[in-house]
Chains A and B, each alone.
Chain A
Amino acid sequence: AQKITQTQPGMFVQEKEAVTLDCTYDTSDQSYGLFWYKQPSSGEMIFLIYQGSYDEQNATEGRYSLNFQKARKSANLVISASQLGDSAMYFCAMREIAGTASKLTFGTGTRLQVTL
């Protein structure tokens, strides 16, 4: 079973609008972390935001916020006031911890295109 599911292969949003990128996850662990990374066309992986499973408040970083709904096992990324530079691939990832092992599992990504 997929541990991280991103159901939107591609999304379009107009500049200055808000957009939500969906992510659902599957784990039986109580302690885990959820991440979002951005990958522009240049290829590097850029960390955006992190949410721990015990964090009661949704994480925010500037224009990025993570809509964490634990019961639904969803961790959607909200980008407010989209900019042309936000056009990129976005990956949701989950960190599970088993003993001393810690692995980050990625979803298949959503390609966001910001239009004028």
Chain B
Amino acid sequence: NAGVTQTPKFRVLKTGQSMTLLCAQDMNHEYMYWYRQDPGMGLRLIHYSVGEGTTAKGEVPDGYNVSRLKKQNFLLGLESAAPSQTSVYFCASSYGPYTGELFFGEGSRLTVL
């Protein structure tokens, strides 16, 4: 049972480079989320999606774009990476708004030099 899978797990970028983080879930969940985790700040919501073809901004959306072309996939893009985007990124999913927990991926550590 894969659950929520994030790729890549680690990446080092130079300032200005672009990249995409892929999140895939096999639980047929409607809701998917991208969070970033920084020391002392907990997890902060970047963008989320309530279903295929929909996306919405979270708490810290600037510098990121997302797409949900397929229900099982949620992509997070950095068009022009900045050192401030050095962080650990977590993808999560849930069945719906009224159900219980979020299921998390293992995290992706991104370093921008």
Contact = CB atoms under 8 A, between A and B. Distances in A.
Pairing of A with B: yes
Interface of A: 4, 33, 35, 43-45, 47, 50, 91, 93, 95, 97, 100-109
Nearest to B58: A103
Contact of A109 (B42, B59, B107): B42
A100 B48 contact: no
Given A47-B103, A102-B96, 13 more contacts: A35-B100, A35-B101, A43-B107, A44-B106, A45-B92, A97-B98, A102-B50, A102-B94, A102-B98, A103-B33, A106-B42, A108-B40, A108-B41
Nearest to B104: A45
| Interface size class, chain B | 20 to 34
Contact of A107 (B42, B98, B103): B42
A93 B101 CA distance: 10
Decide if the interface of chain A is mainly helix, strand, loop or mixed: strand
A108 B92 CA distance: 18
Nearest to B38: A108
